[in-house]
């Protein structure tokens, strides 16, 4: 069986079919005198779910990761979301539908409305809403959720669509792999699987049916394959490889204390993407040499009002102190008209992904922008902080942003507030025109950070989470790589460092090309930091440049990927791709 590579790695174990009773939602009208009882039934389900989630979060015996806590926190907050709760109650009152049907109708309407928006954050929000509503429906209909907390042996979970909450609650001691019929690479379940180091393949058609009478599975999350009942000889071979990978992972610990360097000593900083001070501390523990991306938008989405300057200052200061002398690149607010930050009063757009978002919002809301810049500047007195503007598409936008920064600096100087007066300012390169004009921008900024997720989507006009066109999303596309190479060269000519903060930086198959291109820094998920350092340490820069020159002659992405795989196999480094 074949599917989407959701989380790399190799696993062999018995299949565990996540069977759950079908949620049969009947449509019925509630008598007028029973409406209050129906509302009470709905509110009871909400409170029971809230209690379970809060108990789960506060259980001292559960060691939840920051990502797991963040997702569970979002789910708890959704239980107070008017669009989900109040609107469902309104349907019960006004249309007199039973609460299960009212909830399902409301969620369908929300998904239909938000589904028109081509944005990754919104897709995640839809998944969160569906996950919470499914949990609510199970309580309304008295359906017992599949219990994954008491796994008794090594298993590979087989599910139609595994909810993030189910994976969070699963017994990790015996979880070896995941196969789902649905889901994408950016889903919360996929992110959690990658952070757990659990191989996962999504989008496998009829996985539940195909695995019904299977006694052993081999899941290759790197290749996106699932093999049923392999021959004994093949199974022994896979198990030997899994054991060697286990030993290799244990060896990764030593990369927490070494710099990112190639075999011949060429320097490349390996940093981490973070969203909080806790993330920063975990990144340091994993060996991150800094934070190449601090996502600040999460802070703006948590309350009904913007975070104050003081709250932002304390948050940035805590992250900087957790990193010590390591660099902290703080991206200014990267929100969009589609991200439902209600206090910004953003109008609905037909295509917000190409509309009013990121720096465009900040330049229209200069007080909001200046408050954030003041907080960042104040925090710069406590660490090695740098400022990064997102979604810059023109020199005029860059100049406008810098004028607001200049005013923030002037205010702090008048107030006698200390800050780094030589703080470095850079931009994300995530729009094709910015990459094409990188030589012009390089004269104006202190550094670049290439945001590959958006750059690839904008360059190829492909939504990578849309299964209909996801095969066209190709980080090996020659056009994408040429834009990246041009950006790196443009920065180098002006003596400006160039980093990368998209998922591409953590793709070990592309590490040799990035080394050959001369990139200065990559910022990846904290768990990927030692893996990138390991691959980097096994390649010398001359070999990387040779591979780069040959790869840039490839006509297609598939040809380039095949070439890189073949080269790493010759160098006996292909096993690192399974880490």
CB-count exposure of residue 28 (10 Å: 0-12, 13-18, 19+)? exposed
Choosing from 99, 271, 437, 501, which is the catalytic residue? 501
Residue 331: alpha-carbon gap to chain centroid = 15
CA distance 237 to 505: 30
CA distance 508 to 566: 14
Phi, psi angle pair for 338, to nearest 5°: -95, -5
Coil, helix or strand for 424? coil
CA distance 510 to 488: 15
Say if strands 291-295 and 217-220 run parallel, antiparallel, or are unpaired.
unpaired
Active site residue 501: yes
Coil, helix or strand for 28? coil
Active site residue 345: no
- The one-character DSSP state at 200 is E
Closest by alpha carbon to 372, among 422, 419, 310, 429? 310
Give strand pairing partners of 211.
none
The tokens 């997102």 sit on which residue? 390
Ramachandran area for residue 9 (φ above 0: left; ψ -120 to 50: alpha; else beta): left
The tokens 């989008």 sit on which residue? 203
Closest by alpha carbon to 519, among 529, 527, 511? 511
Give, in order, the Cα–Cα distances in Å from 266 to each of 113, 502, 512, 515. 50, 22, 12, 8
CB-count exposure of residue 302 (10 Å: 0-12, 13-18, 19+)? exposed
Give strand pairing partners of 450.
429, 500
**Contact yes or no for 434/441 (Cβ under 8 A):** yes
Choosing from 188, 271, 362, 437, which is the catalytic residue? 188
Coil, helix or strand for 19? coil
Q: Which helix (H) or strand (E) holds 379?
A: helix 366-379
CA distance 539 to 402: 40
Instruction: Please report the beta strands in 370-497, taking only residues with DSSP state E, as ranges in sequence order.
Output: 384-389, 425-429, 447-450
Give catalytic residues, as residue numbers: 188, 501
């Amino acid at each position: 069986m074949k599917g989407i590579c959701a989380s790399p790695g190799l696993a062999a174990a018995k299949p565990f079919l996540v069977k759950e009773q079908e949620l049969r939602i009947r449509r019925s009208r509630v008598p007028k005198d029973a409406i209050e009882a129906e509302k009470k039934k709905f509110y009871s389900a909400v409170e029971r779910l809230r209690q379970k989630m809060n108990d789960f979060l506060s259980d001292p015996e559960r060691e939840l990761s920051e990502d797991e806590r963040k997702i569970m926190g979002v789910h708890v907050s959704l239980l107070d979301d008017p669009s989900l709760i109040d609107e469902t109650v309104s349907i019960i009152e006004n249309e007199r539908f039973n609460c299960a049907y009212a909830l399902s109708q409301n969620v369908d309407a929300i998904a239909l409305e938000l589904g028109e928006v081509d944005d990754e954050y919104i897709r995640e929000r839809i998944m969160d809403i569906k996950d919470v509503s499914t949990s609510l429906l199970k309580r309304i209909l008295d359906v017992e959720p599949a219990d994954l907390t008491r796994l008794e042996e090594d298993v590979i979970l087989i599910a139609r669509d595994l909810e993030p909450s189910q994976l969070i609650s699963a017994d990790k001691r015996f979880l070896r792999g995941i196969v789902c019929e649905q889901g994408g690479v950016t889903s919360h379940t996929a992110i959690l699987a990658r952070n757990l180091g659990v191989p996962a393949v999504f989008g496998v058609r009829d996985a539940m049916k195909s695995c019904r009478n299977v006694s052993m599975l081999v899941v290759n999350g790197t290749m996106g394959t699932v093999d049923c009942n392999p021959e004994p000889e093949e199974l022994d071979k896979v198990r030997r490889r899994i054991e060697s990978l286990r030993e290799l992972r244990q060896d990764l610990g030593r990369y927490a204390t070494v710099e990112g360097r190639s075999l011949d000593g060429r320097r490349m900083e390996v940093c981490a993407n973070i969203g909080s001070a806790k993330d920063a501390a975990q990144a340091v523990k994993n060996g991150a040499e800094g934070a190449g991306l601090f996502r600040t938008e999460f802070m703006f989405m948590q309350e009904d009002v913007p975070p104050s300057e003081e709250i932002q200052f304390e948050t940035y200061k805590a992250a900087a102190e957790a990193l010590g002398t390591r660099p902290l690149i703080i991206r200014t607010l990267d929100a969009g008209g589609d991200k439902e930050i209600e206090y910004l009063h953003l109008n609905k757009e037909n295509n917000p992904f190409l509309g009013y978002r990121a720096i465009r919002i900040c330049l229209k809301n200069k007080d909001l922008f200046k408050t954030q810049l003041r907080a960042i500047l104040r925090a710069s007195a406590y660490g090695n902080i740098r400022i990064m503007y997102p979604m810059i598409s023109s020199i005029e936008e860059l100049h406008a942003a810098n004028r607001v920064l200049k005013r923030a600096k002037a205010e702090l100087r008048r107030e006698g507030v200390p800050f780094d007066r030589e703080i470095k300012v850079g931009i994300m390169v995530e729009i094709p025109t910015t990459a094409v004009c990188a030589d012009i921008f390089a004269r104006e900024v202190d550094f670049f950070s290439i945001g590959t997720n958006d750059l690839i989507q904008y360059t190829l006009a492909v939504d990578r989470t849309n299964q209909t066109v996801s095969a066209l999303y190709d980080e090996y596309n020659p056009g994408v790589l040429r834009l990246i190479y041009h950006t790196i060269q443009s920065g180098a000519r002006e003596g400006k460092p160039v980093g990368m903060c998209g998922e591409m930086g953590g793709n070990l198959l592309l590490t040799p090309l990035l080394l050959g291109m001369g990139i200065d820094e990559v910022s990846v998920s904290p768990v990927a930091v030692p893996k990138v350092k390991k691959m980097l340490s096994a390649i010398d820069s001359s070999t990387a440049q040779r591979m780069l020159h040959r790869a840039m002659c490839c006509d297609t992405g598939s040809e380039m990927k095949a070439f890189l795989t073949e080269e790493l196999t010759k160098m006996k480094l292909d096993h690192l791709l399974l880490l």
